[in-house]
Amino acid sequence: MTGKMRAPRSRGMLSGLLLVLLALWGGLIPFIGPYFDFGFGSSDPWVYSNDWLVLSILPAIAVGLGGLILMFAANRPAAMFGGWLAALGGLWFVVGTTIAGLWNMGVGAPLGGEARRITEQLTFFDGLGAVMILLAALALGRFLVVGVKEARREEAERRPVDDRGGPEYTAVPAQHKRHFHIGRQKAGSGAGKASRRE
């Protein structure tokens, strides 16, 4: 596996963990929210419908799976797949309720007054999906960048080696050779002078 394919697991750990937590919220809040008069349609908890399956449960599964991949991926392609999966799940949280209206689907009107209805719409769908997309985009950006340590490791792996298994032999620079010959010439010239004096 080349250096460009590898990536530290810690790079997507935080974003992946947050995405998993948000996915748990998105998948469970439709069923436990009514305990606190916080939800859509019925005020009874744990009311399942195909509308909730399409609008909350399935996108939550996609985001949670993407977050788990980001947390444990050790190579870039897998991490990129997890990031895109989480981003698409978050996108469905944002646009799903709008598209569902065209399919004659819906989870009912939000409960409570105006302020609570806005909060429910944001925390169940639009705002929740926007935060998921943001975290997924941040994770994708981190995996697109090659760190300095990774680049150095890749360079070290590509460095050629000689037949003995060690680093490639590096010739002595010409400057050093010239200094060596000059020293020999000086020593020889001194010996010549000494012989002539004799």
- Structure confidence at residue 123 as a pLDDT band (50, 70, 90): very high
What tokens appear for 193 in the block? Answer: 């002078």
What region does 110 belong to: left with phi over 0, alpha with psi -120 to 50, or beta?
Answer: beta
Question: pLDDT exceeding 70 applies to what percent of the chain?
Answer: 68
148 sits in which H/E element = helix 148-158
Mean pLDDT value across residues 8-21:
86
Output the pTM of the full model: 0.71
Q: At what angle do helices 76-102 and 13-32 cross, to 10 degrees?
A: 30
Give CA–CA dist 167/148, Å, rounded.
22
pLDDT at 104: 85
pLDDT at 52: 95
Return the DSSP state at 170: -
What tokens appear for 55 in the block? Answer: 């609008």
**Sign, CA torsion 104/110/113/116:** negative
Q: Which range among 30-44, 123-137, 154-168 shows the weakest confidence by mean pLDDT?
A: 154-168
pLDDT at 139: 92
Span 49-108, pLDDT tens digits:
999 999 999 999 999 999 999 999 888 889 999 999 999 999 999 999 999 888 888 888
Span 153-189, pLDDT tens digits:
555 555 555 444 555 544 555 555 555 455 555 445 5
